[in-house]
Structure 1
Amino acid sequence: MQEEQHITSVPIEDTYDENQIQVLEGLEAVRKRPGMYIGSTSSRGLHHLVYEIVDNSIDEALAGFCSRILVEIEEDNSITVTDNGRGIPTGIHPKMGISTVEVVFTQLHAGGKFGGGGYKVSGGLHGVGASVVNALSEYLEVEIKNGEHIFYQKYERGQGVGSLKQIGETTETGTKVHFKPDGEIFKEGLVYDYDVLRRRLREQAFLNAGINITLVDKRTNAPEDKKMVELKYDGGIREFVEYLNRNKEVIHEDVIYVNSVREDSEAEVAMQYNDGYNEMIMSFANNINTTEGGTHETGFKSALTKVINDYARKTGMLKEADANLKGEDCREGLSCVISVKVTEAQFEGQTKTKLGNSEIRTIVEKMVNEKLGEFFEENPTIAKIVVDKAMTASRAREAAKRARESTRRKSALESSSLPGKLADCSDRDNTYTEIYIVEGDSAGGSAKQGRDRRFQAILPLWGKMLNVEKARIDKIYGNDKLTPVITALGAGIGDEFDLNKLRYGKVVIMADADVDGAHIRTLLLTFFFRYMRPLIEDGHVYIAQPPLYKISRGKIEKYAYTDQELQDILTEMGDGRTPSVQRYKGLGEMNPSQLWDTTMNPDTRIMLRVDLEDAQQADETFTILMGDKVEPRRKFIEERGTSVINLDI
């Protein structure tokens, strides 16, 4: 009622007119809306600051003037990036009337990447990198060597502290940038993750053959094996593909590599097949990871399918009456890196996740058609292995299609197409509803009784679940452990998966906090990642966090979710009668009201959302945990088993 009164009595000074239109000038706009420039102010955005500065050094390498980049995580989680490029120009800018260094660090859309001849190829297309990092830093210092003098300037929250100064003499060239992210912006924390930075820098080293990138962690708590890593790959993206396949069984030894160079562009593709059933295609344009693909990826896929079909027809492996192999058949088990470098890259938005240059499709398609076709002619043994795998995949796809149609017919004949063990909710609005996939009938019974029936559905799982990492899609349809999950969610799987048909907005995995529970969670996450990936990408998958302990003294009851929390509660209870501590071995030990209070009540529960930060890392993790190779899994568990609390995918 108060809100209605406020709306109907707007005072005259609150009139909406030209006086209310605010113009944010320069870096003020970046500080006001940082997410528009770096995606978010979470950990992802924090690390993005490093990428922006490193990308500037990489651009110097692309131009042929930089061979070494040093990235240092300082003790206070500030960052120093040093390169041996040409150094930012230090003269007075003819238009702005201030030093060019200050222009680069304080003006949006200022840089040498707009056709002025400074860079032929660049990832930093929009010219906002250095200035955005400066705007979002508590302080930033830049030191430049131009072969004669050393220059220095400092900024605080984007504003220059004094002008550019000459502080010494040198015969070297290069740029050093030292910055401390601003705690006023990054409120979730300012701690850098060594592994995240290492993954990104390794990627850049693969994409730029021969460049030396070194990462050093100067923090005192850094483990010895993570103090420093030197990344240099003379084999470029060939070595990248070998790295992607290092935990997999490859079906041909040598990586296939093709490239094409034109006056204003360059394209290269490296590829190798493994005995798995999933494809991993990573595409890049001017060193930017185009996670949503684009014209270069489309051109590659089209040409690959054509080359394999043409070879299969020519050699008689495909008979005249046989249908052509489809694209997904030809890509089963493929690990591939596509890298293009163009003068005028057209990306979709500042996030640069999809390439739009139409001419690149033609260049990549022509290159793969001609050069992969030649490779197959010259290497018939490898060609036959590839075609055989595609034909096996085709037969499995047809079998999956028959199984899918059979499942649909069966569902249509039944009175209800939903699984018998599903306790559905009454609400149908998937922005509100959630389904708990629960391990075992005992826990399922408690969850069914304790839930809010309006918006919470319960699906108990039982028996041994299929490891989809070791199975083709034809084995998934009709599987009595996975079919109930597929049917309950209602969105299909694989290429037919449609997020718009999802029946529940939250898909919550609720399993015991023991080894068996961890196995169930990993199996389900593997299934979602391989066959329902948008479910994870759009943030619909959650992990329930049931308590480990119940602490009681008299009428006081408290729950602890970690060993440390248990100790804190015991300390808080202090002296007096010793509290009773119950260790929950499984969800079934909790009665319905306890399960609701601790794990299912939206007001009190703790849930972890599963985020897909890095598809390559996720692919690698699932391959290690659920694949055939024992040694990588043993090493993974030895290195991380004692420290893993939450698994970020």
Structure 2
Amino acid sequence: MSMKENKIYDESQIQVLEGLEAVRKRPGMYIGSTSSRGLHHLVYEIVDNSIDEALQGFCETIEVTIHKDNSISVQDDGRGIPVGIHAKMGRPAVEVIMTVLHAGGKFGGEGYKVSGGLHGVGASVVNALSEECYVEVTKDGKVYKQEFERGKVVSDLTIVGESEGSGTKTYFKPDAEIFDEVEYDFDTLAQRLRELAFLNKGIKILLTDEREEKSKQFHYEGGLKSFVAYLNRNRETLHEEPIYVEGEKDTYSLEIAIQYNDSYTENLFSFANNIDTVEGGTHLSGFKTALTRIVNDYARRFNFLKENDKNLTGEDIREGLTAIISVKLRDPQFEGQTKTKLGNSEVRSIVDSLFSEHFGAVLEETPQLAKIIVDKALNAARAREAARKARELTRRKNILESTALPGKLADCSSRDPKECEVYLVEGDSAGGSAKQGRDRRFQAILPLKGKIMNVEKQRLDKILNFAEIRSMIAGIGAGIGEEFDISKIRYDRIIIMTDADVDGAHIRTLLLTFFYRYMKALVEEGHIYVAQPPLYKIAKNRKVYYAYSDKELNMILEQIGGKDKNTDIQRYKGLGEMDAEQLWDTTMDPEKRTLLRVDIQDAIAADEIFTILMGDKVEPRREFIQENAKKVQNLDI
């Protein structure tokens, strides 16, 4: 979206709102956390500034480099941060932007029409949380440089050379005093930069990793059309070309791309000013309303739906749909728990009218495509009716009515979900040990027999015929799919406990796929855990030790004076080899156990992984496993 009418971007447009001291004291308030997520967020804050230049039509290329020591530089060919003296502060504007919180061209000034970035805290926060940082601005034939340490000015802005063109280079080294870890992950950065390149068509983003001498370039002229094709690349699509809508109204611009595939799940991703609106909002509801209305109107007019037939539901029409909705607007209002829900009410009708007009015309002009979409929805409606009947059988009338609970569930005595946990245990023998070894007050055990169904390849009505899945739904107590209500869960922690072998890893992935596809809120709100049983039992001189990895085994052997004839090492092949007491001591005792919380940070990445691991296409799965096998000992999400 090019908006070049306002070319003046100088020091007079930089407004100052607040000082920097608080950032180092409470970094989490400004970048979300000091974990790996916060570390990567620093890069996005700087890149967002370059993207904002691109949105105004002044920047074409952004280069992000991870240096050998995990420092980062971001270079763009935009207009360059203003270097003139800021009237109110009496210092160069670039220094103000780097050292004063909420100073920037996006706060009330006319420097920017539209800007991205969720926190909008930008460069000053990155500077405050970096042990060293410098900015180089190329402007009017000169190169200016200024250096900082932990947010403080180390050198004044000076001219260090001459150069044609314009742009900004920001270099920073995250502060090890602040962050839990300071090692960047190439794939995590690549995921977001690829997303930004899709969302801002035509922009070129280059990511280089000097640690491993590898690089990737992201550049998509097709915008969201390319994005949807990319997301569906491991699926069988029902029509070759995505349906693409682009439009502007007043100061709002909209881009939508949709494409159907033969799966039974919907994948809708929405963005506002490049921010992933995880909780949806008015742009998403405008799209859904329009899609449902237009397909029903078409189905009625061309007699796919007879007079007495009920309308298709939104859920029917979205089965197998991959869609991306991206709006750009001047003053977005973000709401919701994580401030990722778009609240601007006027956006709903703008998206509805722009999409309806275009999509209605597409159906009229391509009756073959319309038939594919309507047939898919009619099949989904029949399956939904079958699923509703099956669901009636599995629904629990009352969470305290234990008769409705699955027979093999050994429930806990507490009725307070907040203190309760349920172990989903692979196999009956391990289930027996777990039942004996547990703390009955707050630990419930649900043994699962055999392999769980691969839900990636089935509709809900078929899934509900599967006894093990019905047991889990009844045990968890919150329903399934569209009717899932997280407030009704009976256990705060749902713990997957499988053997530490290949089969165990497969069952774990099948269970995670089920939860992600049909009880997504459990995953998103951190209720799903993976138990970590030990790999080895080491006995020496009547003392017993447990090791959870090869590394830990070597450490223990070192501590006990090496391996000799008195040392007995047993490698556990499965949970069934442990008796009740050992299972409690190693894997279930809250004082000693290790639980991994399943944390899926990025819905798009998660969706892709489950499609690759559980879908029909073999080649992407082989590639994924080869790529990731080096990084992890057992493939897990």
TM-score category, normalised to shorter length: over 0.9
1:140 correspondence with 2:133: yes
What is the correspondence of 1:564-579 to structure 2 with a 5 Å cutoff?
564-575=551-562, 577-579=565-567
Name which of 23, 33, 36 aligns with 1:40: 33
Greater displacement, 115-124 / 92-101:
115-124
Name which of 79, 91, 114 aligns with 1:86: 79
Shift of 1:415: 7.0
Q: Match for residue 589 of structure 2?
A: 601
Name which of 208, 215, 221 aligns with 2:207: 215
C-alpha offsets along residues 59-109 of structure 1, whole Å, 9 cap, x if unaligned?
A: 000011100000000111111000000000000001111110111111122
1:467 and 1:125, CA in 2 relative to 1: closer, same or farther beyond 3 A? Answer: closer
1:60 correspondence with 2:48: no
What is the correspondence of 1:313-392 to structure 2 with a 5 Å cutoff?
313-348=300-335, 352-392=339-379
Name which of 132, 138, 143 aligns with 1:150: 143
1:203 correspondence with 2:190: no
Are 2:66 and 2:209, in contact at CA under 8 Å, matched by a contact in 1? yes
Q: Counterpart of 1:270 in 2: which secondary structure?
A: strand
Distance 1:190 1:639 in 2: 23
1:171 correspondence with 2:160: no
TM-score by length of 1: 0.93
Q: Match for residue 620 of structure 1?
A: 608
Q: Match for residue 7 of structure 1?
A: none
Alpha-carbon RMSD: 1.8
Q: Match for residue 435 of structure 2?
A: 448
Residue type matched to 1:34 in 2? Answer: P
Shift of 1:552: 1.0
Corresponding residue pairs, total: 619
What is the correspondence of 1:266-277 to structure 2 with a 5 Å cutoff?
266-277=253-264
Q: Match for residue 4 of structure 2?
A: none
1:550 correspondence with 2:542: no
Shift of 1:554: 2.0
* Percent pairwise identity: 64
Are 2:198 and 2:226, in contact at CA under 8 Å, matched by a contact in 1? yes
Shift of 1:125: 7.2
Shift of 1:126: 6.2
C-alpha offsets along residues 547-587 of structure 1, whole Å, 9 cap, x if unaligned?
A: 11111112121111112222222233225544111111110
Distance 1:527 1:542 in 2: 14
1:605 and 1:569, CA in 2 relative to 1: closer, same or farther beyond 3 A? Answer: same
Q: Counterpart of 2:41 in 1: which secondary structure?
A: helix
C-alpha offsets along residues 114-170 of structure 1, whole Å, 9 cap, x if unaligned?
A: 342211111147642111111111121111001321111111111111321111111
C-alpha offsets along residues 199-249 of structure 1, whole Å, 9 cap, x if unaligned?
A: 000001111111110000011xx2x6xx10011111111000000000000
Are 2:394 and 2:473, in contact at CA under 8 Å, matched by a contact in 1? no
1:42 and 1:410, CA in 2 relative to 1: closer, same or farther beyond 3 A? Answer: closer
Q: Match for residue 90 of structure 2?
A: 97
Q: Match for residue 13 of structure 1?
A: none
C-alpha offsets along residues 284-321 of structure 1, whole Å, 9 cap, x if unaligned?
A: 11111111111111100000001100110111001111
C-alpha offsets along residues 429-453 of structure 1, whole Å, 9 cap, x if unaligned?
A: 2221111110011001111111111
Q: Match for residue 10 of structure 2?
A: none
1:497 correspondence with 2:484: yes
TM-score by length of 2: 0.94
Are 2:541 and 2:566, in contact at CA under 8 Å, matched by a contact in 1? no
Are 2:75 and 2:168, in contact at CA under 8 Å, matched by a contact in 1? yes
Shift of 1:485: 0.7
1:315 and 1:182, CA in 2 relative to 1: closer, same or farther beyond 3 A? Answer: same
Name which of 573, 576, 586 aligns with 1:585: 573
Distance 1:507 1:125 in 2: 32
Are 1:108 and 1:127, in contact at CA under 8 Å, matched by a contact in 2? no
Stretches of structure 1 lacking an aligned partner (at least 5 in a row) = 1-23
Are 2:394 and 2:470, in contact at CA under 8 Å, matched by a contact in 1? no
Residue type matched to 1:105 in 2? Answer: M
Stretches of structure 2 lacking an aligned partner (at least 5 in a row) = 1-16
1:30 correspondence with 2:13: no
Distance 2:248 2:355 in 1: 13
Q: Match for residue 12 of structure 1?
A: none
Distance 1:309 1:245 in 2: 25
Distance 1:411 1:338 in 2: 39
Q: Counterpart of 1:481 in 2: which secondary structure?
A: helix
Shift of 1:509: 0.4
Shift of 1:647: 5.7
C-alpha offsets along residues 238-273 of structure 1, whole Å, 9 cap, x if unaligned?
A: 000000000000001111001112341211110100
Distance 1:313 1:620 in 2: 35
C-alpha offsets along residues 580-625 of structure 1, whole Å, 9 cap, x if unaligned?
A: 1111111010011111111011111111110011111111111111
Q: Counterpart of 1:402 in 2: which secondary structure?
A: helix
Distance 1:202 1:578 in 2: 56
Distance 1:133 1:647 in 2: 34
What is the correspondence of 1:360-439 to structure 2 with a 5 Å cutoff?
360-408=347-395, 416-439=403-426
1:261 correspondence with 2:254: no
Residue type matched to 2:593 in 1? Answer: R
Q: Counterpart of 2:422 in 1: which secondary structure?
A: strand
Q: Match for residue 635 of structure 1?
A: 623
Distance 2:365 2:76 in 1: 43
Shift of 1:349: 7.8
